[in-house]
Structures are given as C-alpha cells and as structure tokens.
Structure 1
C-alpha cells in the first residue's frame, strides 16, 4: 500500500486559501481517481476537489468550514 497525500490545489493565480464546504466521502470510503472528494469555496467560487488516486480514504485532516492554505495536506488515501 502507498500513502497518497491530498493537498488543497491552487485553482487560480490569486488563490491563497480555500474553505472546505463539504466532504463528499468519509473515512473508510473507497474512492477512484478523479472521483469528487469535497466541495471547496475559494474567492466566492465553489470548486470540486477530485481524488488524485484510487484507494481508501484513511484520514481527513481538514474539517468542513475550515479555511486552509493552498498546498496544505487535507486528506490521505491508501492505495491498493
């Protein structure tokens, strides 16, 4: 098994942080690459954060409503 870190991406040049609006998956859920993981609001626009890998979501490190900086570790996926 490999550990894949899910980082908050930078969707726009001026983006420095985002707010986790809603997690669409829970710890223990199976996810596939490019599957929606969470809704993130940045600069008044909601974006969908997609899974970077296929595996099991093992940790959620940023909670709903939390502001996080770009490239912050927000979740972990264990691959098969």
Structure 2
C-alpha cells in the first residue's frame, strides 16, 4: 500500500511552527481527502489540518499539545 505523509502546512508567510491542539481522528480511522484531521494553533489563530488524501490513518507522530516546525510529518495515512 502507498503511504501518504501528513505535513504541518505553512498557512502564513511568517508561520514557522504550529501547536497541535486536538486530533479529530485516531489511528485506524478511515478518512476522505480534505477531511478535517486535527486542530492546530498557529500565529495566534486556529486552523484545521485537512487530509491530503483518502485512506486509513496508520500512525500519529505528533501528540496533542506538541509544537512542531512547519513541514513536520504529523501522521501517516495508508492510501485506500
């Protein structure tokens, strides 16, 4: 199966990191492309991290409350 890396995107030019506030999905959950995966705080605003593709979440690499740099892999999805 192909793996899709879920990266923390850069929502604004000055954004260098984001805090993963809450996962909306868990390992084993099936997700559709563009489905909300997590809530992220960045630049004093809240954003929704969306799935880059359809499949099943196989790994969550960043825990709730963790702050990570932009483009960090936060989860892995096994492609449907």
With the shorter chain as reference, the TM-score category is over 0.9
Gaps of 5+ in 1: none
Number of residue pairs matched?
80
Q: Give the structure-1-normalised TM-score.
A: 0.98
Counterpart in the other structure of 2:76: 76
Mapping of residues 57-76 of structure 1, within 5 Å: 57-76=57-76
Aligned to 1:17: 17
Distance in 2 (CA, whole Å) between partners of 1:16 and 1:47 is: 14
Q: Show the counterpart of 1:32.
A: 32
Shift of 1:43: 1.1
Where structure 2 has 5 or more consecutive residues not aligned to the other structure, the ranges are none
Q: Which runs of 4+ in 1 moved over 6 A?
A: none
Q: Tell me the alpha carbon deviations over residues 19-54 of structure 1, each in whole angstroms, 9 at most, x when there is no partner.
A: 000000000000000000000000110000000000
What RMSD in Å do the two structures reach over aligned CA positions? Answer: 0.4
State the TM-score, normalizing by the size of structure 2.
0.98
